[in-house]
């Protein structure tokens, strides 16, 4: 059996929106959907003890109702997608991280999970994107229009999983990929001067030409692998988070890597990816290299990566 799409639910409107998006992803992949709620009594809003048992029994009943509502929403969205459910005892972040080991994709809403009222995105989606063993999709408040997929490409080994995901997803959706690479003179490693007497190490246009080549190399081979996917190359002189946030306004989906050329060693999720999880105008997928039992897979490509 193919790996399912897993969606985390907590009864909030955001998580129910995520269910509908997750159903579509499951249908596109021809796989099942698994609705998961992490049951951790201390994290739920307290309720009065039931006449039938302690407070935990009332909480459990509440949880079963919210999961049933999510399952009903999924089946109404697409009756042909097989839906399973799981109520798992444990802290939500750890539960979804464990579920990601056997998932094709984990989908969550842009608000809190597990009734963390007032606890914002950084402790849920950011954690999952940094630690999950499969790509993580965060469904923003406003669903993206039917359009194209924007790929944030920087040519780093850490970004290869995002490139693969974006092209595979575009093939499933029958849409195109806009491969966007943003750069500034401060983010680019200048080439060494060819002549020590030259006042500048590079001529006009040299840096821009180099970044265009880098983008082409970043997606090399995918066009042959996905011949039905049209790709548009877009190189902009701008900060990456600003350029990608703007591009997300007209995108159906935004795909980025977990940590690219601007990442800090040891930081599992780069600052650009974190900013996009908070500010993008469409659903965001953070794709990391598929991890094995001993941790994340090592990058496959020797392409340069700058600190």
CA atoms within 13 A on the CB side of 304: 10
- Tell me if 98 sits within 8 A of 47, measured CB to CB: no
Measuring CA to CA, how many Å separate 245 from each of 3, 73, 250, 251, 270? 31, 30, 10, 10, 15
Give the pLDDT of residue 26. 97
pLDDT of 20 over the 70 cut: yes
Taking phi first (over 0 means left), then psi (-120 to 50 degrees means alpha), and beta for anything else, what does residue 90 get?
A: left
Q: Which of helix, strand or coil describes residue 160?
A: helix
- Tell me if 72 sits within 8 A of 144, measured CB to CB: no
Report d(CA 289, CA 271) in Å as an integer.
18
Report field, pTM of the whole predicted structure over 0.75: yes
pLDDT of 303 over the 70 cut: no
What residues does 286 pair with on adjacent strands?
Answer: 136, 256
Mean pLDDT (whole number) for 272-297: 75
Give the pLDDT of residue 128. 84
Find where tokens 């048992």 sit. Answer: 53
Task: Report the b/e string of 116-155 with b at 16+ CB within 10 A.
Answer: eeeeebeebbbbbbbbbbbbbbbbbeeebeeebbbbbbbb
pLDDT of 18 over the 70 cut: yes
pLDDT digits (tens, 9 = 90+) for 135-189: 999 997 665 566 899 999 988 888 899 999 999 999 999 999 999 999 876 555 5
Give the pLDDT of residue 275. 85
Highest mean pLDDT among 23-27, 50-54, 287-291: 23-27
Q: Beta 33-39 vs 5-8: how paired, if at all?
A: parallel
Least confident range from 30-39, 206-215, 285-294: namely: 285-294
pLDDT digits (tens, 9 = 90+) for 208-257: 677 888 899 999 989 899 999 999 999 998 888 899 999 999 899 999 98
Q: Does an H or E element contain 77, and which?
A: helix 55-77
């Amino acid at each position: 059996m193919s790996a399912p799409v897993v969606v985390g639910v907590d009864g909030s409107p955001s998580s129910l929106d995520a269910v509908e998006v997750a159903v579509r992803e499951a249908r596109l992949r021809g796989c099942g959907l698994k609705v998961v709620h992490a049951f951790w009594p201390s994290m739920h809003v307290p309720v009065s003890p039931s006449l039938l048992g302690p407070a935990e029994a009332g909480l459990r009943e509440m949880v079963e109702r919210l999961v049933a509502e999510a399952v009903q929403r999924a089946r109404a969205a697409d009756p042909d997608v097989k839906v399973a459910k799981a109520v798992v005892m444990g802290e939500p972040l750890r539960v979804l991280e464990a579920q990601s080991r056997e998932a094709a994709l984990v989908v969550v809403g842009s608000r809190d999970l597990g009734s963390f009222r007032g606890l914002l995105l950084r402790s849920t989606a950011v954690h999952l994107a940094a630690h999950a063993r499969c790509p993580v999709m965060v469904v923003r408040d406003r669903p993206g229009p039917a359009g194209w997929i924007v790929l944030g490409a920087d040519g780093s080994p850490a970004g290869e999983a995002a490139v693969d995901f974006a092209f595979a997803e575009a093939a499933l959706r029958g849409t195109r990929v806009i491969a966007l690479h943003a750069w500034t003179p401060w983010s680019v490693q200048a080439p060494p001067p060819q002549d020590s007497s030259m006042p500048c190490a590079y001529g006009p246009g040299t840096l821009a030409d180099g970044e265009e080549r880098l983008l082409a190399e970043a997606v090399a081979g995918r066009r042959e692998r996905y011949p039905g996917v049209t790709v548009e190359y877009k190189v902009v002189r701008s900060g990456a988070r600003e350029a990608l946030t703007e591009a997300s306004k007209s995108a159906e989906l935004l795909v980025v890597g977990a940590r690219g050329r601007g990442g800090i060693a040891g930081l599992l999720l780069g600052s650009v990816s974190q900013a996009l999880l908070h500010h993008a105008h469409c659903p965001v997928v953070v794709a990391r290299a598929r991890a094995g039992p001993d941790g994340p897979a090592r990058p496959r490509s020797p392409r340069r990566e700058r600190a």
